[in-house]
C-alpha cells in the first residue's frame, strides 16, 4: 500500500479523514487510491465504531473528477488557489 498523503482524526465525530493530493495522476487512479485507503481504515478499525471519509485536493478539477467524487458520498473534492486557500467544489 502507498502512503496516505495526510491522515487526520476528528475525535468528536470518531471520523478518520484521508486527504489525497492529485498530482498528475488520472482521475481513476486517485479515486481508486482513496477508496482503497478508506477500505483499509474500515478493516483495521472495525469494532471501534469509527467512520472514514476522503477528501481529494486539486489545483483545478475537471468534470470527470467531479462525477467520480459525486458517485461516492464518502468522498469530497476541494480546489486550492495560488494563496493555498482551499474551497469545497463537490
Residue at grid coordinates 486517485: 30
- C-beta of residue 1 within 8 angstroms of C-beta of residue 40: yes
Count CA atoms within 13 Å of residue 6 on its CB side.
8
Does residue 1 surpass a pLDDT of 70? no
- C-beta of residue 33 within 8 angstroms of C-beta of residue 2: yes
Q: Given this model, what pLDDT does residue 26 score?
A: 87
Residues 6+ apart with CB under 8 A from 46: none
Report field, pTM of the whole predicted structure over 0.75: yes
> Tell me: the pLDDT tens digits for 6-58?
999 999 999 999 999 988 888 899 999 999 999 999 999 988 999 999 999 99
Q: Given this model, what pLDDT does residue 25 score?
A: 82
Q: Given this model, what pLDDT does residue 90 score?
A: 87
> Phi and psi dihedrals of 82, rounded to 5?
-65, -25
Q: Given this model, what pLDDT does residue 71 score?
A: 94
- C-beta of residue 35 within 8 angstroms of C-beta of residue 72: yes
Q: Given this model, what pLDDT does residue 79 score?
A: 94
Q: Given this model, what pLDDT does residue 66 score?
A: 94
- C-beta of residue 78 within 8 angstroms of C-beta of residue 88: yes
Q: What is the mean pLDDT of residues 51-79?
A: 94
Amino acid at each position: 500500500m502507498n502512503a496516505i498523503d495526510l491522515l487526520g482524526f476528528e475525535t468528536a465525530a470518531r471520523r478518520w479523514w484521508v486527504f489525497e493530493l492529485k498530482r498528475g495522476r488520472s482521475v481513476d487512479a486517485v479515486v481508486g487510491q482513496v477508496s482503497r485507503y478508506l477500505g483499509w481504515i474500515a478493516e483495521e478499525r472495525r469494532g471501534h465504531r469509527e467512520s472514514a471519509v476522503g477528501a481529494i485536493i486539486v489545483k483545478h478539477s475537471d468534470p470527470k473528477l467531479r462525477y467520480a467524487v459525486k458517485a461516492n458520498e464518502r468522498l469530497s473534492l476541494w480546489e486550492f488557489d495560488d494563496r493555498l486557500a482551499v474551497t469545497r467544489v463537490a
